[in-house]
């Protein structure tokens, strides 16, 4: 059983990635395979049973995924016995999809905002205790938020002590994404997945890797975590690729045009291909400069299809 990382710096991010892996939400197996939102939360709660927040204490016992039940959950955390939490102060995790963050609050819905006492870490963005602009909100929301619920000190009331929020695919899909660019890539991949299944009888699985592919799945590989991570944006896998087709394809979203960014990406792309023994295709949002984005999308879709179907492509 895995140990929760909730008390470590950026531990909520690690825990969220671990829950994605154990729940299977990082994988999109078929066009019709996505569970309803309530079922996705149930998968996360089941996965939480494999993570300990203290000795012999599964996270699932102190996990809240239903925002209206948060006050009741905070009361439960406040009343938790020290005999149950042997090595840490009583605490739990509040996990929910949100519309954004602003002024130190999680914006759960238009009529519900929850304050966070400490740091709000926003993936790839600024700290969450200043006002979020409309542009920022539209570029990254919605998010999946994981918050530590506890008493800061024994005499303090229970509160949300800190939060980590990460963009997710949509309000109805809790797969983690890095940006709107990745959401658009994901939409093209889902369209390709459906085409291959319906038109060519090819089953393609879309995965959103959560860990550095060089670590072999080891969350504790600090030597790798200390450097720039090597995490593909997406990995496509086919069970039986046609003759000339690739069984594994790495997909990278190219969201920036800068030379430094593209030079770094060129190096990591080589590492990805060598590590996974895969081919690689990019979804570019800047080049060719003489194309509109819809044309770049079509170019990406055709390139990905060609890699998978090989000589069968028409």
Q: pLDDT tens track of the chain, all 314 residues?
A: 655 556 554 799 999 999 999 999 999 999 887 999 999 999 999 999 999 999 999 999 999 999 999 999 999 999 999 999 999 999 999 999 999 999 999 999 999 999 999 999 999 865 545 555 554 554 579 999 999 999 999 999 999 999 999 999 999 999 999 999 999 999 999 999 999 999 999 999 999 999 999 987 666 554 444 467 899 999 999 987 888 999 999 999 999 999 999 999 999 999 999 999 999 999 999 999 999 999 999 999 999 999 999 855 55
Do 167 and 182 share a domain, yes or no? no
pTM: 0.90
Do 68 and 205 share a domain, yes or no? no
Q: Give the end of a domain, one of 146, 171, 196.
A: 171
Tokens of 160: 């949300």
Do 150 and 113 share a domain, yes or no? yes
Domains in the chain, number: 2
Do 225 and 196 share a domain, yes or no? yes
Kindly list the strands in the beta sheet with 27-28, ordered across the sheet, starting from the edge strand earlier in the chain: 27-28, 204-207, 234-238, 248-254, 279-284
Do 127 and 185 share a domain, yes or no? no
Kindly list the strands in the beta sheet with 105-109, ordered across the sheet, starting from the edge strand earlier in the chain: 100-102, 105-109, 112-115
Do 200 and 153 share a domain, yes or no? no
Tokens of 225: 């975590």
Q: Look up the domain containing 262 and give its range.
A: 178-312
Q: Give the end of a domain, one of 151, 171, 191.
A: 171
């Amino acid at each position: 059983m895995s140990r929760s990382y909730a008390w470590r710096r950026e531990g909520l991010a690690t825990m969220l990635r671990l829950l994605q892996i154990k729940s299977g939400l990082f994988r999109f197996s078929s066009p019709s395979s996505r569970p309803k939102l309530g079922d996705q939360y149930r998968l996360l709660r089941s996965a939480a049973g494999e993570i300990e927040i203290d000795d012999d204490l599964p996270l699932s016992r102190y996990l809240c995924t239903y925002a209206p039940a948060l006050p009741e959950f905070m009361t439960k955390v406040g009343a938790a016995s020290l005999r149950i939490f042997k090595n840490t102060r009583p605490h739990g995790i509040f996990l929910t999809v949100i519309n954004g963050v602003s002024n130190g609050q999680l914006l759960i819905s238009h009529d519900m905002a929850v304050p966070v006492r400490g740091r709000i870490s926003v993936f790839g963005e600024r700290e969450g205790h200043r006002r979020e602009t409309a542009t920022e909100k539209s570029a990254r929301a919605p998010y999946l938020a994981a918050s530590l619920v506890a008493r800061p000190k024994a005499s303090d009331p229970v509160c949300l002590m800190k939060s980590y929020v990460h963009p997710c695919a949509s309000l109805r899909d809790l797969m983690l994404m890095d940006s709107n660019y990745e959401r658009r890539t994901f939409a093209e991949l889902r369209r390709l997945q459906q085409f291959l299944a319906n038109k060519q009888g090819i089953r393609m699985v879309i995965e959103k890797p959560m860990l550095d592919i060089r670590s072999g799945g080891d969350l504790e590989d600090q030597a790798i975590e200390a450097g720039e991570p090597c995490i593909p944006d997406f990995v496509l896998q086919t069970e039986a690729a046609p003759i000339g087709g690739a069984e594994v394809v790495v997909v990278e979203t190219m969201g920036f045009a800068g030379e430094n960014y593209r030079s770094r990406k060129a190096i990591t792309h080589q590492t990805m291909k060598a590590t996974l023994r895969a081919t690689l295709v990019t979804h570019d949002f800047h080049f060719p400069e003489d194309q509109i984005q819809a044309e770049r999308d079509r170019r990406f879709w055709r390139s990905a299809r060609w890699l998978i179907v090989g000589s069968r492509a028409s």
